[in-house]
Amino acid sequence: MKFCTAINCMDGRVQLPVINYLKARFQADYVDSITEPGPNLILAQKDNKTLVQSIISRVQISVEKHHSVAIAIVGHYDCAGNPAGKKEQLLHLEDSMDLLRQHFNIAVITLWVDENWEVHEI
């Protein structure tokens, strides 16, 4: 069994497109999903230390127990949890990726889900 990890928005519109993309991208059997409203903003700002640590702890379980081969942090169009535009959200994704790479020594990628619910690796 091969796992990868998605740190994704709780928005149901982005769940299946991201799961399908990651399963194909990493030839994974399963995608562990860690969801929060606007996780790229949460990890980029680092204001809510409890929530940031919760996300990191959940990713750690995926990496250590399921031997996840990669982590994806996701931003998307029309996000209620991170209402910033695409340009600003891409900056949030970059900052989030930097934070995750400080904690985990596996591949970390960023994904953008557009207005047509198509996934783009940034």
Residue ranges in the chain modelled with pLDDT below 70: none
Structure-block tokens of residue 11: 């928005």
pTM to 2 decimals? 0.95
Domains plus CATH for the chain?
A: 3-121 (3.40.1050.10)
What one-character-per-residue DSSP string does 22-34 give? Answer: HHHHHT-SEEEEE
pLDDT for 27 equals: 98
C-alpha angle 19-35-69 in degrees, rounded to nearest 5: 50
